[in-house]
Structure 1
Amino acid sequence: MAPTPPKLNPSGPGIGLLNEKPLHASLKQWYGQPGDCFEVPVDGFVIDIVRGDRLLEIQTANFSAMKSKLTKLVQSHPVRVIYPIAQEKWLVKLSTDGDKANTRRKSPKKGRVEDVFWEMVRISHLIPNPNFSLEVLLIQEEEVRRFEAKRRWRRNGWCTEERRLLAVVARHLLQTPADWLAFLPQGVDAFTTKDIADAMGIRRELAQKIAYALRTAKLIELIGKRGRGNLYRVAV
């Protein structure tokens, strides 16, 4: 049986949900602990959660939107980004006819931790900073879509209305160089992006994103070519 959305208390203490998307609000409640402070102004920015001296930012979409914010904050604060990836997703299409029920089906796509690199290429310069860490949450979610006739160019007119948290399945903390280097083939002195793709069972394009991010972070270095592909090694 497919999971159903949890019953959340949207008016929990200190959590302001005005104009906040459901997935972001639910993750903030799920991640929050006693003693946390929510929506706190720090250095000219509003922080989702402050836990002791650590700033916790939940980001459910494009990392470009928070690039300048994070770059400034990590100069003087420990900052952790919490990023959800849908390991399982159910697609809900809202009825366009009041007499018909909404439809709900499971998406065949399955997200995985490595998918975070689609976004990490935008902020990969932060990886070496000891004040920066990232936690990937693998989740089950619902994506609610509505039909807009004027937007037929995309998904045949269906656009995303909101995303809903069903459950958190697993969490993966990326904090040390070893955590990031774990995405590379093990036991080899040099590797290409094809080697990364084969070792991880991912698309070559995503493997290229991994190599780009880790090279920008100076965790790996380019040492030559193997055939037509760039050859890398872990930076000494």
Structure 2
Amino acid sequence: MVESGDPQRFEEARLRVQGGDRLRAGIGTLGEKSLHAILKNYFEPAGENQETRVGGFVADIVGSEGIFEIQTKGFDKLRKKLAAFLPVCPVTVVYPVAQLKWVNWVDPSSGEVVARNRSPRRGQAADVFYELYKIKEFLQTEGLRFCIPLLEVEDYRLLDGWDRTKKRRATRSDRVPTRLFGQVWVSGWREWGELIPPGLPQPFTAKEYAKAARQRLEMARRALNVLASLGLVERAGKAGRAYLYQLPAEMENG
């Protein structure tokens, strides 16, 4: 389900976090960064409901709607948390996506931004499939849902990379969300199917899926792996060396 979210509350959370000298720096006792801190304060402004121990782990938020876990990086470490949290209460995994991103290059000696460029790539909710691959065994567990905020983000990177431009493998200093465009909620089998790009031929290859979804081929392959595990796509033979996929009848018929 797509909704606008609450841009005013998001702006209040952003100003609250950035007003504490947290911009472009490690913050909090857990090495928290701006993207994580702003989203945590957006979903739960009350500090007493944040960073609460549950089942041997620290949950970002524990409130009336259960646990909220904000995952701004990979889902590798989420498996153990989900195994501990889901038997206790509902869990919402928040995975932010930069729909619009500005890359700021920072001189590491002075801390000054020396260049700012708009990233050509527009993130989308379906980008979450790349990480879902790591926790797909939990996706049909009762009580688990996902929220995907679509954001404008300022990405700060140090000019300390390996090549002549100092940009290759440069250190990411911080990511600061500056605007909320909307948010996508997914809580069930059919809602994951709504992230499949429209207009796919039947059957289709991973390359055709990648083109329709405007994703890299590696991301498309992971998405298809997850969708197949959910029964939302089916293998349909091969075309040369490429696997063919198709939507199950119940998906094609809406």
Question: Structure 1 residue aligned with 2:244, among 210, 230, 235?
Answer: 230
Deviation at 1:11, TM superposition (A): 9.0
Q: TM-score, normalised by structure 2?
A: 0.76
Deviation at 1:231, TM superposition (A): 2.8
Paired residue for 1:26? 38
Between the aligned partners of 1:117 and 1:99, the Cα distance in structure 2 is: 35
Does the CA-based 8 Å contact 1:39-1:46 persist in structure 2? yes
Paired residue for 1:210? 223
Does the CA-based 8 Å contact 2:233-2:245 persist in structure 1? no
Paired residue for 2:64? 52
Between the aligned partners of 1:26 and 1:59, the Cα distance in structure 2 is: 13
Structure 1 pair 124/190, CA: closer, same or farther in 2 (3 Å)?
farther
Write the letter of the residue equivalent to 1:229: Y
User: What stretches of structure 2 of length at least 5 have no aligned partner?
Assistant: 1-10, 21-26
Question: Structure 1 residue aligned with 2:115, among 103, 107, 122?
Answer: 103
Partner of 1:8: helix, strand, or coil?
A: helix
Between the aligned partners of 1:35 and 1:22, the Cα distance in structure 2 is: 16
Paired residue for 2:77? 65
Question: Structure 1 residue aligned with 2:28, among 17, 28, 44?
Answer: 17
Write the letter of the residue equivalent to 1:200: A
Paired residue for 1:152? 162
Deviation at 1:230, TM superposition (A): 2.8
Matches within 5 A, 1:168-207: 168-184=180-196, 191-192=203-204, 193-207=206-220
Between the aligned partners of 2:199 and 2:75, the Cα distance in structure 1 is: 32
1:78 aligns to 2:117 (yes or no): no
Partner of 2:59: helix, strand, or coil?
A: strand
Deviation at 1:185, TM superposition (A): 5.6
Write the letter of the residue equivalent to 1:17: G
User: What stretches of structure 1 of length at least 5 have no aligned partner?
Assistant: none
Q: TM-score, normalised by structure 1?
A: 0.81
**TM-superposition CA deviations, 1:19-57 (whole Å, max 9, x none):** 211110111111225697111111111111112151100
Between the aligned partners of 1:194 and 1:184, the Cα distance in structure 2 is: 14
Percent same amino acid among aligned pairs?
Answer: 27
Partner of 2:171: helix, strand, or coil?
A: strand
> How many positions carry a matched residue from both structures?
228
**TM-superposition CA deviations, 1:1-30 (whole Å, max 9, x none):** xxx994224799xxx933211110111111
Deviation at 1:71, TM superposition (A): 2.9
Structural RMSD (CA): 3.3
Does the CA-based 8 Å contact 2:52-2:60 persist in structure 1? yes
Between the aligned partners of 1:20 and 1:61, the Cα distance in structure 2 is: 12
Between the aligned partners of 1:186 and 1:90, the Cα distance in structure 2 is: 28
Between the aligned partners of 1:139 and 1:102, the Cα distance in structure 2 is: 23
Partner of 2:192: helix, strand, or coil?
A: helix
